[in-house]
Amino acid sequence: MRYLPKSPADREAMLKAMGLRSVDDLFAPIPAEYRLNRDLKIPRQMAESEIVDYFRQRSRENAEGYVSFLGAGAYSHYRPVIIDSLISRGEFLTAYTPYQAEISQGTLQSIFEFQTMISELTGMEVANASMYDGSTAAAEAVMMAVRLTGRRSVVLARSLHPEYREVLATYATHQGMPLSVAGFGENGRVNLAELEKSISAETACVLIQSPNFFGTLEDVAAVADIAHRNGALLVVSIAEAVSLGIVEPPREADIIAMEAQSFGVPLGFGGPYCGVIATREKFVRQMPGRLVGQTVDKHGKRGFVLTLATREQHIRREKATSNICTNQALVALMVNIFMTVYGKVGLKELAKQNLAKAAYAAAQFGKQGEVLFGGAPRFNEFVVRTSEDAYAINNRLLGHKVIGGLPLKKFYPELGNAALWCCTELTTRSSIDTAVGLVAESERSVQSAKQETEEMVR
Amino acid sequence: MAYPTDRKYTKEHEWILANGNTATIGITNYAQESLGDIVFVELPKVGAELTAGKTFGTVESVKAVSDLFAPVSGTVTEINADLATSPENVNKDAHAAWMIRISLKDPKQLDSLLSSSDYEKFVAEEGGH
Amino acid sequence: MTDRIRKATRHVNQNEGLIFEKSSAGKAAWKVPPLDVPEVDSASLLGGIERKDLGNMPEVSEIEIIRHFTRLSTWNYAIDLGMYPLGSCTMKYNPRVNEAVARVEGIANGHPYQPEKISQGALQIIKTLSQCLIEITGMDAITLQPAAGAHGEMTGLLMVRAYHHSQGRPRKKVLIPDSAHGTNPATAAMVDYAVENLKSDSRGMVDISALAAQMNEDVAALMLTNPNTLGVFEQDIHKIADILHAKGGLLYMDGANMNALVGKVRPGDFGVDLMHLNLHKTFSTPHGGGGPGSGPVAVKTILEPFLPKPVLINKPDGTLGFEYNRPQSVGRVRAFYGNFGMFVRALAYIQANGPDGLRQTTEDAVLNANYIRKGLEGTYELPYATPTMHEVVFSDKLQAKKGVRTMDIAKRLIDYGFHPYTTAFPLIVPGAMMIEPTESESIEELDFFVEAMKSIADEVEENPQTVLDAPHSTRVSRLDETAAARKPVLRWKPVV
C-alpha cells in the first residue's frame, strides 16, 4: 500500500521488539465475537491512474462545459491561480489548528489578516477565524444574539435564503427560540410594517439578508431602526461577499453572518465554503468560533496566538458559546488570498462589473418578460417571471448548454413561474443574449398559443 | 498566607466581608493562585438576585474558567467596574480586589461559613492532594 | 545539548510583516477584462448605498503576495515536514491525488443547484462514498451533510431527540464519560439535553456499575468514544449497549478514533445505534490549519427516518436524486449537501486503499502507537496499564517533580523537530501527554521520536531550565497569551 512507509520486515522487527508474535495480539482487547473476519465490501485497491480516471468520468457527468446563470448563495467568480498555488503548500495544507503557536505563526498571521480584512469590508470591529458556512454562521449569530440580549424569540425575513431559514429552524428547535417570519413587499424588500408587527419585547434579534435571496438590497437602516427601537439586535446575513466592493456594508448591524465563498472558493457542488461572523468589540466574548489575537513573545517580538479560548467547547464544555471545533481554515486562506489579490481597488472594479452585467441582463429580460422587484436597488441577481413554467424553459436552455436561473416555485410558490438569475463578471454578453433570446421564444410561443385559443373561442 | 480575620470564607474559595446588612464578596488568594493569570471577570448586573450556593459570575484565566458561587443570598448593589479593564488586580491583591457588593437577605447565613483559620486548614488539606 | 538533537526542522526565519504594511496606493495584483456590456452609473443604480471607500484593504502586487504567503508558510509545522502525533486528531498523510481529483473541472465547479440530471457525477460520488462508509461502520444509513465532527454530533443528538419523541417518551439527559471530548457536552447543551458525567474505572473504561446505576428512562443516550480518549477499547461494549437498550436508551459513538477500527471491527456490529465520522481524521482529508472537516453520521435503520434532508435516493428512472419530502426528518443542518469537496477526497482515499489497504492501515496505526508506548514506558508515567490501540496517554508525573509539565515537554519536542502531542487531555489524566502517531510513520521516524522523548526526560533531570524555556529553535519564543486575552488585539489598525 503506497501510503504506508513500512516493509513486511519492518513490521516483523517492530513486533519482535515488542515481544509480540502477531499484530493480532494488539487487537486482543476487542472481543472476538465482534472482530471482522472478512474483507470490507468496498471497491478494490486502485492505482492512482484509475482513481484520476474515475473522477474524470464523474466530472463529465457533472455539467462540464455549461454556461450557468445560477447564484442563490453559491457564486461563480474568477479564482486567481495563485490561490491554489499557495494553499497547496504542504505547510498550509497539512497543518492542524494552530494550538502550538510557535510553530503555527504562518496560519495564525494569515488568520489575523483575514480577521482584519473581513472587519474592514463589513464595517464591523472584529471578525472570527471562520465558521462552517453562511447558513450555520447565521444560526450561530442568532444564538449569539439570544445570549447577548437574554431574550429568546427571533424575527427573520422571508427574503432570507430559504435553506438558511431551514438551518436556523433546525438549530432553534430545542433551544426554545420561537421564530417568526416577516414577508417581503412589492419591491422585494422585507415588509417593514409586517416586521414592526412581528417584533416584541421578547425579540432577541431581527435577521435579514442583504443583498437578499432575490438579489435586492435591503433598507438596512430602516430595519435596524425598528430592531433597535424594540431593544433587539440586528443580524445581517451576507451571502454574496463581492457586493461589499460597491455596496455600503450594513454598519447599523450588530452582528454580520457572512458566506465568503464568492472570494475565491470553488463552487464545489455546495461546499466546503467559508462562513464568518463579524460584530462589535463589546460583543466579542459571546462570539462563537476561533479567534486569533496579536501579542509578543519573551523577547518582545510580535506574534499571534489563539485567544479568548475560554469561550470554546474544549474548556467550557456544556457552557461553551458553541460546540464548534473544526472551522474552515484552509478555505479562509483562499478567501484571504483572494481579498489580498483584489484589495482596495480591485474589489470595487470587480463588484462594478457584476453590477453592470446584472443590470444589462435584467434590462434585456425586462424587454421580453417580467422582471420582478424593480422598485429597489439590486446587486447581481434578479427575478424573472415567465408565462411558461421555469423548469420547462430551463430544459430547453440545457439543450444549448445553458443552465438557466433557479426556478423559485419550490421555495416561493406565491411568485408563480419565477426564476432567480445571476450574472457575475464571468457571464458574457453573448450568453446573456442567448438566454434572453430563448426566454423570448418561450414567451412568444405562449402568446401565440394563447391567441390561437382565443381565436378558436371566438 | 494569612487570611484576614475580618471576613468569612467558603469552600468554593470566596471571601465575604459583612458590614451590617451589606457585604462585599471576592475570591481568595488561594483561588487566584490556582487560577493563574486572570484575564477576565464576568460579574452580574446591579439588581441581580443571588442565591446562596448558586453561581453569580465567572473568572477566567487563559485556559480555564471558574464559576463564582454566592456565599449567601442577597441583591447586588454595586460591582467593581475596574475589574473589567484590570482583571490583573485580582492577582495583585485578591483580598482587596472585591467583586460585588450585596445587600444581605438573611445575615444569619453568614454563621455557617468558614472562619479564616478554618479556611486556612481547608486549603492546607486541599493543597496537599 | 544540541548533539542530542538528531532530527530537527529549522524553519526559514524571516521578518515578514503584515500584508497591510506592504500596501501602497497604485499597486495591484488584479486585472479585470474589458466590460462587454454598457457601463453603469453605480451611484444612481444604488442610490445612497454606493460604497465609496474600502478602508484599509491592501494594495499589493502578485509577487509580493506569493512571497508573503510562502514566507508565512515556512513558519508552520506540518505533516509534510514530519511526525505530528497530536492525540485524537489523527494527523495522517494527506494524499495528493485527493487534491488533484477534487480540482477536476466538473467536480470543482459544479453548482449545488444545477439540475439533477446533469449532476449525476456528483451524486454518484456521494452514493459510492455513503455505501463505503456504511459498510465500514456496519450501519444501515448515513447523512454526509454535517460540516465537521461537532456538527455531526449535533445532528446525531437531534436524531436521538426525534427518535425518542416519536416513541412518545422525550428524555432529558445524555450520559458522557469523564474522558470525553469537550465537544460532546457542548453539543448536548445545544440540543437542550442535560449532561450527566459518567465515571471511568481503574482500567480507564466506563464503570459498568456506575452506568447501570445512572441509567434510567430519563437517559436519551450515552455518548461514547471507542476506543476512548485513553486509546483503550471499551471491552465491555456489549454490556454497555445492553444496559442502555434495556432502558430504551441509544448508544451514540463519537467516531473520532475510528482509525483504530477500520477493517478490523464495525461499530454497528457491537451495538452502536448511531455515530459520526471525521473524514479529516480517519479518511485523510487535509486538516488545512484547522478545517474544513466533514462529519457524516451513520445510523441504524430505526433512526433512518430522522436523517437530515435532503436524502439521496435512486429515482424510478434509474438516475440519482434528492428526496426532500421527509416528514420525520430533523431538518437541514447546513445549506446544500455538506462539504462535498471532502467527500471526493475521502472516496479517493478509500479507493487508493481498498479493503486490504484499509485493514493494513489500521494495523499499522495500532502497531505504531504500541511501539511508542513500549519505547517510552518507564521513562514517562503510564497512568493506565490497560492495553491501548491507536494512541497512548502518558503523564508528566515523574517530570513534574522537577517542575516540568506536559506543556514544557511538548514545547521542547519542537526543538527536536516534532510537532507536540496533545497536552492536558483527557481531563482524567493530570498532566496528560496524548500521543497518536498514525500509520504514516516509518520505524526510523518512530525511533527518532522515542529517542527525542527520552532525551528530553534526561534533560529534565540534568537541566530542567532548558526544557522550561523551550522552544529555542523557532522564529518566536513562547508567546504572552495572558496579555493577548486581557487586552485582545484582534485586527490590524493603521498607526495614526
If DSSP states are collapsed to H, E and C, what string results for A294-326? EEEECCCCEEEEECCHHHCHHHHHHHCCCCCCC
Query: A235 and A379 in one domain?
Result: no
C-alpha cell at C125: 460520488
Check CB contact under 8 Å for C58 and A340. Answer: yes
- b/e string for C95-116 if b means 16 or more Cβ within 10 A? bebbbebbbbebbbbbbbbbbe
Q: Is residue A143 a part of any domain in this protein? A: yes
Minimal-distance CA residue of chain B relative to C483: B39
Query: A328 and A368 in one domain?
Result: no
Query: A355 and A261 in one domain?
Result: no
Q: What is the band of C13 on the pLDDT scale with cuts at 50, 70, 90?
A: low
Query: A266 and A199 in one domain?
Result: yes
Going C177 to C178 to C181 to C185, the CA torsion angle's sign is: positive
pLDDT at A456 (0 to 100): 74
What is the span of the domain harbouring residue A437? 344-457
Gap between the Cα atoms of B26 and B83, Å rounded: 11
Query: A384 and A285 in one domain?
Result: no
What pTM was estimated for this model as a whole?
0.94
Query: A165 and A221 in one domain?
Result: yes
Strands (E) across C60-143 are located at: 141-143
Question: Per-residue pLDDT tens for A23-35?
Answer: 999 999 999 999 9
Q: Nearest-CA distance from B36 to chain A in Å? A: 14
Q: Is residue A279 a part of any domain in this protein? A: yes
Query: A100 and A48 in one domain?
Result: no
Q: Is residue A54 a part of any domain in this protein? A: yes
Q: Is residue A77 a part of any domain in this protein? A: no
pLDDT at C8 over 90: no
Q: What is the band of C1 on the pLDDT scale with cuts at 50, 70, 90?
A: very low
- CATH code, A209: 3.40.640.10
Check CB contact under 8 Å for B88 and C486. Answer: yes
The answer to whether residue C486 neighbours chain B at the CB level (below 8 Å) is yes
Q: Is residue A139 a part of any domain in this protein? A: yes
Query: A332 and A187 in one domain?
Result: yes
Query: A136 and A232 in one domain?
Result: yes
In what side-by-side order are the strands of the sheet with A418-422?
Answer: A370-371, A381-385, A418-422, A406-407
The answer to whether residue A67 neighbours chain C at the CB level (below 8 Å) is no
Task: Name the helix (H) or strand (E) containing A365.
Answer: helix A329-368
Question: Per-residue pLDDT tens for A281-317?
Answer: 999 999 999 999 999 999 999 999 999 888 777 767 7
Gap between the Cα atoms of C121 and C144, Å rounded: 16
C-alpha cell at B28: 481568595
Minimal-distance CA residue of chain C relative to A210: C49
Mutation choice for C interface testing from B32, B38, B39, B91 by most C CBs within 10 A: B39
Q: Where are the alpha helices (DSSP H) in C114-224?
A: 120-137, 149-166, 183-190, 208-214
Gap between the Cα atoms of C29 and C22, Å rounded: 13
- CATH code, A364: 3.90.1150.10
Query: A128 and A248 in one domain?
Result: yes
Q: What is the band of B129 on the pLDDT scale with cuts at 50, 70, 90?
A: very low
Q: Is residue A2 a part of any domain in this protein? A: no
User: Which of B73, B67, B62 lies closest to B27 in space, CA to CA?
Assistant: B67
Question: Taking residues C367-388, what's their average pLDDT?
Answer: 97
Check CB contact under 8 Å for C485 and B40. Answer: yes
Q: Is residue A230 a part of any domain in this protein? A: yes
Question: Per-residue pLDDT tens for C151-204?
Answer: 999 999 999 999 999 999 889 999 999 988 888 998 998 899 999 999 999 999
Question: Per-residue pLDDT tens for B88-117?
Answer: 999 999 999 999 999 999 999 999 999 999
Question: Taking residues B15-23, what's their average pLDDT?
Answer: 93
Which residues of chain B are within 8 Å of residue C481 when distances are taken between CB atoms?
Answer: 62
Last residue of a domain, one of A339, A357, A383: A339
Check CB contact under 8 Å for C486 and B87. Answer: yes
pLDDT at A47 (0 to 100): 98
Last residue of a domain, one of A304, A321, A339: A339
Q: Where are the alpha helices (DSSP H) in A191-241?
A: 192-198, 220-229
Mutation choice for B interface testing from C397, C405, C482, C487 by most B CBs within 10 A: C482
Given a contact cutoff of 8 angstroms between Cβ atoms, the answer to whether A147 and C166 are in contact is: no
Total domains in chain A come to 3
C-alpha cell at C493: 489598525
Percent of chain B with pLDDT over 70: 97
Question: Per-residue pLDDT tens for C214-272?
Answer: 999 999 999 999 999 999 999 999 999 999 999 999 999 999 999 999 999 999 999 99
User: pLDDT tens string for chain A (458 positions)?
Assistant: 899 999 999 999 999 999 999 999 999 999 999 999 999 999 999 999 999 999 999 999 998 889 999 999 999 999 999 999 999 999 999 999 999 999 999 999 999 999 999 999 999 999 999 999 999 999 999 999 999 999 999 999 999 999 999 999 999 988 889 999 999 999 999 999 999 999 999 999 999 999 999 999 999 999 999 999 999 999 999 999 999 999 999 999 999 999 999 999 999 999 999 999 999 999 999 999 999 999 999 999 999 999 988 877 776 777 777 777 767 899 999 999 999 999 999 999 999 999 999 999 999 999 988 999 999 999 999 999 999 999 999 999 999 999 999 999 999 999 999 999 999 999 999 999 999 999 999 888 888 888 887 777 76
Q: Nearest-CA distance from C86 to chain A in Å? A: 9
Task: Name the helix (H) or strand (E) containing B104.
Answer: strand B100-104
pLDDT at C496 over 80: no
Q: Which domains does chain B have, with CATH numbers?
A: 8-107+114-127 (2.40.50.100)
Mark out chain B residues that contact chain C at CB-CB < 8 A: 37, 39-40, 60-63, 87-88
Which residues of chain A are within 8 Å of residue B60 when distances are taken between CB atoms?
Answer: 310
Give C33's contacts (C-beta < 8 A, 6+ positions apart).
A425
Q: Which domains does chain C have, with CATH numbers?
A: 2-73 (no CATH), 98-350 (3.40.640.10), 363-482 (3.90.1150.10)
Last residue of a domain, one of A294, A311, A339: A339
ipTM of model over 0.90: yes
Q: Is residue A399 a part of any domain in this protein? A: yes
Q: Nearest-CA distance from A197 to chain C in Å? A: 26
Question: Per-residue pLDDT tens for C82-121?
Answer: 999 999 999 999 999 999 999 999 999 999 999 999 999 9
The answer to whether residue C480 neighbours chain B at the CB level (below 8 Å) is no
Which residues of chain A are within 8 Å of residue C284 when distances are taken between CB atoms?
Answer: 3
Q: What is the band of C2 on the pLDDT scale with cuts at 50, 70, 90?
A: low
CA C89 to chain centre: 5
Gap between the Cα atoms of C192 and C158, Å rounded: 10
Query: A396 and A351 in one domain?
Result: yes
Q: What is the band of B127 on the pLDDT scale with cuts at 50, 70, 90?
A: low
User: Which of C406, C384, C383, C385 lies closest to C456 in space, CA to CA?
Assistant: C406
A 319-338 residues with CB < 8 A to B: 319
The answer to whether residue A394 neighbours chain C at the CB level (below 8 Å) is yes
Check CB contact under 8 Å for A318 and C109. Answer: no
